[in-house]
Amino acid sequence: MTLLLDDPTEDAPAEGVQEQDAPRSVDPGLGRVDKTFRFTVRGIGMFVLVMTVAIGGFLGWQATHTYHDYGLKFFYGTTFDPSRNLFQIAPILLGTVEVALVALAVGFPIALMTALFITEYAPSRLKSPLIALVDMMAAVPSVIVGVWAVKWLQDRAIFTTRWISQNLGWIPIFHVDGDIDAASNTWQINFIGSVAIAGLVVGLMIVPLACSVMRGVFDLAPLSEREAAYALGSTKWGMIRTVVIPFGRGGIIGGTMLALGRALGETVAVLLIITNDDTPKIQVLSGGTDTISAMIASQFGNAHQGQLAAYLTAGFVLFVMTIAVNTVAAIFVNRSRSGAGVDV
C-alpha cells in the first residue's frame, strides 16, 4: 500500500507537501472515443426526438391556419364538404369515436379471455404456440385484414346486424332506416359499410396488442398468492377472480387503452369497409360513416393547396387524441409492472 501511494508522490514535481494530500479524482473522465460515442448516440436520440416532436409541432402549427380560415366551427360544425370548402369535422370525429368504442366492445372481452386462457388454462406445451398465434395475428398487414373483412366477413356479419336491428331497433343506436325486412337482397344496402362492421374488424385487429399487455401482467401474478387461494379451497375461476384479475387490473386498463389508441388511428381496414357518409349519426348498424384517418387517406389526394391545412388539423386532432390515450395507458401499464419489460 505504501508502495502504491508513494508512486505519485515521487513523480509529482516538488512544489509543496499540501498538494500531495489533496484527494485525487477517482473518475478519470471520458476518453476521446467515449466522448465521440456519446456525442453520436446522443445526436441520434435527439434527431429522433426532434423528428417525432416535429410531427406534432408541425400539425399543431397548421391548426392555427385552420382556425384562421374556418374558425372554431371546424370542431363543432356538422357539415363536412370539401367541394364547397366546408370543413367541420364533428361528424367525422363522432364516427371515429364510435368505431373505436365498438372496437373496444368487441376487442376487450376477446383479448381478456385470450390472455386468461393463455396464462391460466392452456396446457404448458400449448402456451408458446398460442402466443405465436396471437402475435402472428398482429403481424398480418391491415390491408389484408381489410380485404378479408370487406369481401368475406361483411357478407356474413350483415345478417347479424340486421337481426339486431329487427329485434332491438327500438333502441335509437340500433335503429336502421329503410326497408330492412325486404325479402330480396335490397335490404343489404342499408347495412353495408356501417360503424358496427368497421368496429368489429378493428376490434379483432386490436386484440393482439391488448392481449399481450394483459398476458404480461397476468404472468406476474405471484405464485404464492395463487397457491394460497387454492389452499383455501378455491376453484380455478375463484383463484383467477380473486388473485389474477385484481393483480392485473392496471395491465387490463392500460392494455385496453393502448388498444383504444390503436383503434382510433386504424386507417386502411376502416377505409376499405366503410361507405363514405359525412353526416353525423349515432345509428351504428346503419351503413355509412367516416373516421378521421379514413377521411384523410381518401380525400387528401383531391385537396388543393389552401385546404391542406384543414386536413393537417384534422390529423392533429387525431394525434392529440391518440397521444392522450396512450400516455394514460402507459401510466397504468408502468405502474402495474414491476421492472420486467412487457414485450409488445
Partner 1 sequence: MSESPEITQTLQRPARTVVPVSGEHVGSPLVARPIGRRTLDDRASLVGSLLAALAITWLVYERMLAFGGYVGFAVCWWLTFIIVYTFVSASSHPWVEVKDRLAGVIVASGASIIALVLGCMVVFVFLKGWPALHHWNFYTQDMTGVSPLDPLSKGGISHALVGSAIEVGIAVLVALPLGIGTAVYMSEVGGRAAKLVRTVVEAMTALPDILAGLFVYTVLIVGLHWDRTGLSAALALVVTMVPIVARSAEVTLRVVPGGLREASWALGASQWQTVWRVVLPTARSGLTTALILGIARVSGETAPLLIVSGSSTYFNANPLSQPMNSLPLFIYGNVRGVQDENILARGYGAAAVLLTVVLILFTLARFVARPRSGSR
- Contacts of partner 1 in 145-164 (CB under 8 A): 145, 147-148, 150-152, 156-157, 159-160, 163
Binding mask 188-207 for partner 1 (x = CB under 8 A): ----------------x--x
Of 64-103, which residues contact partner 1 (CB under 8 A)?
none
Q: CB 315 → partner 1: shortest distance, Å?
A: 5
Q: Which of residues 225-264 bind partner 1 (CB under 8 A)?
A: 235-238, 240, 258, 261-262, 264
Please report whether residue 265 would count as binding partner 1 according to CB under 8 A.
yes
Cell of 249: 387490473
Q: Is 125 in the site for partner 1 (CB under 8 A)?
A: no
Q: Please, what's the b/e burial string for 128-152 (b: 16 or more CB within 10 A of its CB; e: otherwise)?
A: eeebeebeebeeeebeebbebbbee
Size, binding site for partner 1 by CB under 8 A: 98
Which CB, 79 or 298, lies closer to partner 1?
298
Nearest by Cα to 229 from 240, 221, 220, 216: 240
Mask for 23-52, x = binds partner 1 (CB under 8 A): -------xx-xx-xxx-xxx-xxxxxx-xx
Dihedral of the alpha carbons of 37, 41, 47, 52, in degrees to the nearest 10: 180
Name the residue nearer to partner 1 (CB basis): 66 or 267: 267
Q: Please state the closest distance from residue 1 (CB atom) to partner 1, in A.
A: 20
Q: Which residue from 133, 168, 182, 282 is in contact with partner 1, where contact means CB under 8 A?
A: 133
Chosen residue from 13, 16, 29, 301 binding partner 1 by CB under 8 A: 301
Helix, strand, coil percent values for the chain (each to nearest 5): 75, 0, 25
Cα→Cα distances 176→109, 171, 276, 285, Å? 26, 10, 17, 7
Burial of residue 311 (CB within 10 Å: 0-12, 13-18, 19+) is buried
Nine cell digits for residue 17 = 507537501
Binding partner 1 (rule: CB under 8 A), the pick from 93, 99, 104, 118 is 118
CA-wise closest residue to 60 among 300, 266, 314:
314
